[in-house]
Structure 1
Amino acid sequence: MQNFVFENSTKAYFGKECVKTHLPELLGKYGKNVMLAYGGGSIKKNGIYDELKEILEQAGKCVIEFSGIMSNPTYAKVQEGADLAKEQHIDLILAVGGGSVMDCCKAISLAAAYDGDIWDDFWSKPGIIDFPVVPLGIILTVSGTGSEMNGGAVITNEALKIKTGRDYPVCNAQFALLDPVYTYSVPEFQMVSGGFDTLSHIMEIYFSAPDEDNVSDDISEALMKSVIRNLRAAIKNPEDYTARSNLVWASTMAENRIIKLGKRTDFQCHIVVARRFCPCLAQDICQNLLPCFAA
């Protein structure tokens, strides 16, 4: 295996009711002002929002909401969140959702602690973050991106028409709460897309150099088999806890840096791999993913 240095500062809490069990204690480590960040509002329909608001209020927190985080979060949205965080003196950002919400909030946690332009200094080119960012906590509701246990954030600068990502360990969340039950309300197509995303992440690492025997590839093979097996089980029964829990953790394992150790991590084959598994793929996500995986 190639030389490497491994670091992952995010503490993961996994399993049924892990939010109810651990979030109250975790909140005690931070100040009063909490930014509750989420996307289009699905958490208000599935009950997660009410559950979190109750926990936050019982903990005596002042909740400042930041909603409307879109798929492929924009730099403008990051700046909006950073301005709010500065204005309200946010002590903790609580990102509730999938990869887009997580990525946006990582960038916000950096921008809220920095007076310059984070796009120019940290996204258009690699930068050095030698200052503390605003603490971030994550509550997963959609699996697939694996963003919950890394410092990576993909942001779109609409003005420049550029979409790019950086991974800064300092932007890792302080904690990530992964309750597979929270993913039950995700539509079937989105669940399948998330599984396919996980496979793509693993494969683009697996097929990179070096090719000689190594532990990372062994783990990747086990993960890929698990994703395929459990995705088929989840299609048959969306509330199969074993299947959904395995899909959540496989997604996290794909991007928590473990299977990247000793590998070159060539990320050019994300779409190429997708096309090989689903030849009819014409966009990032294909409407025929479901029958391809249900076979």
Structure 2
Amino acid sequence: MNNFIFENATKVLFGKGCVKEYLCCLIKGCGDTVMLAYGGGSIKKNGVYDEVVSILKKAGKNIVEFSGIMANPTYAKVLEGAKLARESQAGLILGVGGGSVMDCCKAVSIAARYDGDVWEDFWARPGIFDFEPLPLGVIVTVAGTGSECNGGAVITNEELKIKTGRDYPRCNPRFALLDPTYTYSVPKFQMVSGSFDILSHIMEIYFSGPDEDNVSDDIAEALMRNVIRNLRAAIRNPEDYTARSNLMWDATMAENRIIKLGKRTDFQCHQMEHQLGAYTDCNHGAGLAVLHPTYYRHIYKDGLAKFKRFATEVWDISSDRKTDEETARAGIDELERFIREIGLPATLQELGIHGDVDLKAVADSCAVVPGSYRKLTQEEIFEIFKECF
């Protein structure tokens, strides 16, 4: 394996009832005011909001609400949250929701303590910390991004039409509460798209060098099989606790940096979807589902041994009487069939993107990542978009 340094400062408390059991203790010493951050209000319908507010009030905390965080959090929303945090003198941000809420809160934790241009100094380029971000804790209600156990935050600058992410260990949540029962009320499409995002994160790490025998690839294969099996089970029964708890931990394991150790990682497909989202505000997991099979058909020959291994080890495809290329293509075909099976779109038109979107402009705005088996050009990215249309 390649050399690496591993760090993860987030304390995870996992399981049914963990919020009731631990939240009160976790918020001690975090000042008098908690900024409670959430999205469109679903937590008010499923009882999570009432439960959390009750605990905060019993702990004697003042509560300032920061609501309306959108699916693709914007830089404007980050600045709104930072202003509120400063004015209320919040001692802790408590993000309750999925990846968009957590990502927004991480960016707010920087902006609330920084006087300069947060976008230019921390998203347009890597930032330097000479201050402590505002402390953050999270309660996860949607399994998908794995944002609960890293410092990563993907933010959209609507004015510049750029959607990009940075991962700062200083922004890791201090604690993450993961109760799988909180995910029961998530709509099916959101649950499925979030679960595909988990699979995508793992594939983006797996399909990169080095390819010699290593722990990270072995763990990645086990995680991919687990996501596939448990997503099917959760679709059959949305309140299957075993399935929902496995998916929740799969999401964390995919992005807590463990399986990235010693790997270059790819994330070209994520970069392409991010820019597609910047121009169209499309669903992230669904966008990835459209792009992955086509992208992999463009690069599989450059990582043939790994794509063959993906087919045999993840999808149980026999390589008997097949060439390596045939086996590798069969694995990609099976991935595409799985996408159809779980009800995600397979084309940009099915995703709701039509001819009025300038796909050439989207392609030209995409960064080309260094970790892919083959470095793409903007022209090839444009070809991928057109083939996905």
Same fold flag (TM > 0.5): yes
1:278: which partner in 2? Answer: 336
1:230: which partner in 2? Answer: 230
**Cα distance, 1:269 vs. partner?**
3.3
> C-alpha offsets along residues 62-115 of structure 1, whole Å, 9 cap, x if unaligned?
000000000110000000000000001010000000000000000000000001
**Cα distance, 1:274 vs. partner?**
5.0
Q: Is the CA contact 1:193–1:285 (under 8 Å) kept in the aligned structure 2?
A: no
Q: How many equivalent pairs are there?
A: 287
Output aligned runs, 1:1-295, within 5 Å.
1-270=1-270, 271=288, 272-275=291-294, 276=332, 277-278=335-336, 281-283=346-348
The alignment partner of 1:121 has SS state of helix
The alignment partner of 2:262 has SS state of coil
The alignment partner of 2:142 has SS state of coil
- Structure 1 length-normalised TM: 0.94
The alignment partner of 1:253 has SS state of helix
RMSD of aligned residue pairs (Cα, Å):
1.5
- Structure 2 length-normalised TM: 0.72
The alignment partner of 1:36 has SS state of strand
The alignment partner of 1:278 has SS state of helix
Q: Is the CA contact 1:226–1:246 (under 8 Å) kept in the aligned structure 2?
A: yes
Q: Which amino acid aligns with 2:148?
A: E
> C-alpha offsets along residues 162-212 of structure 1, whole Å, 9 cap, x if unaligned?
111100000100000000000000011111111111000000100111111
Distance 2:348 2:74 in 1: 20
Distance 2:350 2:63 in 1: 35
Q: Structure 1: where are the runs of 5+ without partners?
A: 288-295
The alignment partner of 2:268 has SS state of coil
Q: Which amino acid aligns with 2:47?
A: G
Q: Which amino acid aligns with 2:263?
A: K
Q: Which amino acid aligns with 1:75?
A: Y
Q: Which has the higher helix share?
A: 2
> C-alpha offsets along residues 10-57 of structure 1, whole Å, 9 cap, x if unaligned?
000000000000001111131110000000000000000000110000
**Cα distance, 1:160 vs. partner?**
1.2
Instruction: Go from structure 1 to structure 2 and tell me whether the alpha carbon gap of 1:284 and 1:14 turns closer, same or farther (over 3 Å shift).
Output: farther
Distance 1:189 1:110 in 2: 32
Instruction: Go from structure 1 to structure 2 and tell me whether the alpha carbon gap of 1:152 and 1:243 turns closer, same or farther (over 3 Å shift).
Output: same
1:292: which partner in 2? Answer: none
The alignment partner of 1:166 has SS state of strand
Q: Which of 211-220 and 268-277 deviates more?
A: 268-277
Instruction: Go from structure 1 to structure 2 and tell me whether the alpha carbon gap of 1:106 and 1:283 turns closer, same or farther (over 3 Å shift).
Output: farther
**Cα distance, 1:161 vs. partner?**
1.3
The alignment partner of 1:128 has SS state of coil
Work out the percentage of aligned pairs sharing the same amino acid: 71
Instruction: Go from structure 1 to structure 2 and tell me whether the alpha carbon gap of 1:286 and 1:198 turns closer, same or farther (over 3 Å shift).
Output: farther
Q: Structure 2: where are the runs of 5+ without partners?
A: 271-287, 295-331, 338-344, 353-389
